[in-house]
A and B are shown apart, each in its own frame.
Chain A
Amino acid sequence: MDDIESRCIALIAKSKNIPASGIRMDSTFDELQIDSLDKINLSFEVEEMFSIEIPDDSLNSLKTVGDVVRGVERLRAAAPPKAAAS
């Protein structure tokens, strides 16, 4: 499991108070009971963690954990941060 994937899963596990072991790349937000407010909050925390900005139109297409991880990878590749925020 690469760094981005493990950090995203840890973030979701913490915010939903569920074990990380139960979260897979193909887990959907519906399965994880991530509602629209959770999604907005998760996006904020992901932005903070990886020093990125998720465009509004991309936000709507996020449906799975894998969507988040791949989105972070794309955004970081497009504009590598000088130093990732912790």
Chain B
Amino acid sequence: MKILKRVVVTGLGCITPIGNTVEAFCESLFAGRTGIAPFDSDELAPPLRFKTIAQVKDFDASQHLTSGVIGSTESGSQFGIVAARQAAAQSGLLAHHVPAAMAIVTGCACGGRAADEEANRQLYTRSARVPPMAIVRTMSSAGASNISIDLGIGGPVLNIATACASGTHAIGLGFQMVRAGMAPAAIVGGYEAPLTPGFLRAWDSMRVVSPTSCRPFSADRDGMTLGEGAAMFAIEPLDAAVARGAHIYAEIVGFGMSADAHHITQPRAEGAAQAIRRALADTANNLGAPSQAVSSTEVGSFPPSIADRVGYINAHGTGTQTNDAVEAAAIHQALGDFAPRIPVSATKSLTGHSIGATGAIEALATVLALDRSSLPHIAGVTEFDRTLNLDIITGAPRPLESGKDIALSNSLAFGGLNAVLAFRRYDGRPLYDVAR
């Protein structure tokens, strides 16, 4: 029998297209203020099919980082370092846990593409030598390493690269480490700055980018919008957070992963549904749901009482025809009769799709929704796609229904890699560890 700790979120940080502080992000999120805007693509010829991206604004690295760090990092890592600092400072967890044992798990799929592309451009157009900093600036794990150096965190430190699910996988794996006692606390999240000429052009060729602007689950949706940013979380055991009087934004109660085992770009609903089921089965175990209702032979079973408590789903919601239809099907497969009644929204119409960071940014939106008991709406949707048979939140935020204390954050990556986090509104119940 092993004792798993309950794990809570006690600190938040972000650098995003809709705000470079959690306060600014939160204000934009619930106001439905988008960070997507036209961009200057004059240097790209022939022109791209799309004209909008979601860029981080007013971020001056020199206000936060030394010239040495700036010279050896790309902007994605810089976003991650600053967001991690925010989360650690807000939480105060570095003063209450041993940093030398703490963990960092980040999600970054693309690495320092800007440095890579520039070095290659120089190499292939004028046979130039490649500068040594190209090595350290292009590493996907550079952000994780620099956060470790910056905060003095010396336990398990790693970066996950699972395309569009990287940030979600990172939070989930950090959650596993803390609940199992592998680390006393952790900084988890994602960072990415992929808006380089080569990356934009490749996505243009893929023909899934919106010529207008991302509108998830809209009847007239026409694709995704690319973005960048970072979101970070300070997580620690519930008892430690309560003992030191930390504010608890939410409890992480479940994590589910799956692979479609199907196609490198085409998603399959069965795969995503299995990740949702596994997250809810994990939740059921964590919350001590009746054990007889959870099958011991089938991974991914959960009792109806858990499904009935799901009050919000923050969908992957890329805004492509295929993703949103497949994700809706997955929600129906996993949640059955409960699916049409669960409020669903997506964050990408505000923040764009920041690949490795997007799951973390959306987890941030989910945690804030639980903390405020208010569910953000999808901006820019005039008429949602009724064929999906989901309760899409449009127009304005909606209150979290009483008794519905669980929220899911879905990430469905290219390559069929799915990750789903389950959070629970923290209600201050007495402490207990769940024995299994």
Name which of B72, B129, B132 has the most chain A CB atoms within 10 A of its CB.
Answer: B132
Interface size class of A (residues with CB under 8 A): 10 to 19
Assembled-state Cα–Cα distance A40/B71 (Å): 13
Contact B136 A37 (CB under 8 A): yes
Assembled-state Cα–Cα distance A41/B129 (Å): 12
Question: Does B67 sit within 8 A of A, measured CB to CB?
Answer: yes
Contact B68 A44 (CB under 8 A): no
Assembled-state Cα–Cα distance A41/B67 (Å): 13
Question: Does B46 sit within 8 A of A, measured CB to CB?
Answer: no
Question: Does B403 sit within 8 A of A, measured CB to CB?
Answer: no
Q: Give the 7 A-B CB pairs with smallest separation, nearest first.
A: A17-B67, A40-B132, A44-B131, A41-B133, A44-B132, A41-B132, A16-B67
CB distance from A55 to the nearest CB of B (A): 16
When C-beta atoms are compared, the residue in chain A nearest to B131 turns out to be A44
Contact A48 B67 (CB under 8 A): no
Q: Name B residues whose Cβ lies closer than 8 Å to a Cβ of A.
A: 62, 66-68, 70-72, 129, 131-133, 136
Assembled-state Cα–Cα distance A47/B129 (Å): 10
CB distance from B77 to the nearest CB of A (A): 15
- Which residues in B have their C-beta under 8 angstroms from that of A45? 131
When C-beta atoms are compared, the residue in chain B nearest to A33 turns out to be B68
Contact A38 B132 (CB under 8 A): no
Q: Name A residues whose Cβ lies closer than 8 Å to a Cβ of B.
A: 15-18, 33, 35, 37-38, 40-41, 44-45, 47-48
Contact B131 A16 (CB under 8 A): no
Contact B68 A48 (CB under 8 A): no
When C-beta atoms are compared, the residue in chain A nearest to B67 turns out to be A17
8 contacts between A and B (CB under 8 A): A17-B66, A17-B67, A17-B70, A37-B132, A37-B136, A41-B71, A44-B129, A47-B129
When C-beta atoms are compared, the residue in chain B nearest to A16 turns out to be B67
- Which residues in A have their C-beta under 8 angstroms from that of B71? 15, 38, 41
- Which residues in B have their C-beta under 8 angstroms from that of A17? 62, 66-67, 70
Contact B67 A15 (CB under 8 A): yes
CB distance from A11 to the nearest CB of B (A): 12
Assembled-state Cα–Cα distance A28/B132 (Å): 22
User: Are A48 and B129 also in contact (CB < 8 A) when A15-B67, A16-B68 are?
Assistant: yes
Instruction: Identify 9 new A-B residue pairs, CB closer than 8 A, beyond the known A18-B67, A37-B132, A38-B71.
Output: A15-B71, A16-B67, A17-B62, A33-B68, A35-B68, A37-B136, A41-B131, A41-B132, A45-B131
CB distance from B364 to the nearest CB of A (A): 32
Contact A38 B68 (CB under 8 A): yes
Assembled-state Cα–Cα distance A11/B157 (Å): 34
CB distance from A5 to the nearest CB of B (A): 22
- Which residues in A have their C-beta under 8 angstroms from that of B132? 37, 40-41, 44
- Which residues in A have their C-beta under 8 angstroms from that of B62? 17
- Which residues in B have their C-beta under 8 angstroms from that of A35? 68
Assembled-state Cα–Cα distance A33/B68 (Å): 9
- Which residues in B have their C-beta under 8 angstroms from that of A47? 129
Assembled-state Cα–Cα distance A37/B71 (Å): 10
Assembled-state Cα–Cα distance A15/B66 (Å): 11
When C-beta atoms are compared, the residue in chain B nearest to A45 turns out to be B131
CB distance from B354 to the nearest CB of A (A): 28
Assembled-state Cα–Cα distance A66/B66 (Å): 25
- Which residues in A have their C-beta under 8 angstroms from that of B133? 37, 41
Assembled-state Cα–Cα distance A40/B196 (Å): 26
- Which residues in B have their C-beta under 8 angstroms from that of A16? 67-68
When C-beta atoms are compared, the residue in chain B nearest to A43 turns out to be B132
CB distance from B133 to the nearest CB of A (A): 5
Contact A37 B72 (CB under 8 A): yes
Assembled-state Cα–Cα distance A37/B136 (Å): 10
Assembled-state Cα–Cα distance A79/B133 (Å): 27
- Which residues in B have their C-beta under 8 angstroms from that of A33? 68
Assembled-state Cα–Cα distance A43/B93 (Å): 41
Assembled-state Cα–Cα distance A17/B131 (Å): 19
Name which of A35, A40, A41, A47 has the most chain B CB atoms within 10 A of its CB.
Answer: A41
Assembled-state Cα–Cα distance A16/B68 (Å): 7
- Which residues in B have their C-beta under 8 angstroms from that of A38? 68, 71
CB distance from B107 to the nearest CB of A (A): 25
Assembled-state Cα–Cα distance A28/B131 (Å): 23
Assembled-state Cα–Cα distance A33/B131 (Å): 20
Assembled-state Cα–Cα distance A48/B66 (Å): 24
Assembled-state Cα–Cα distance A37/B131 (Å): 12
CB distance from B138 to the nearest CB of A (A): 14
CB distance from A20 to the nearest CB of B (A): 14
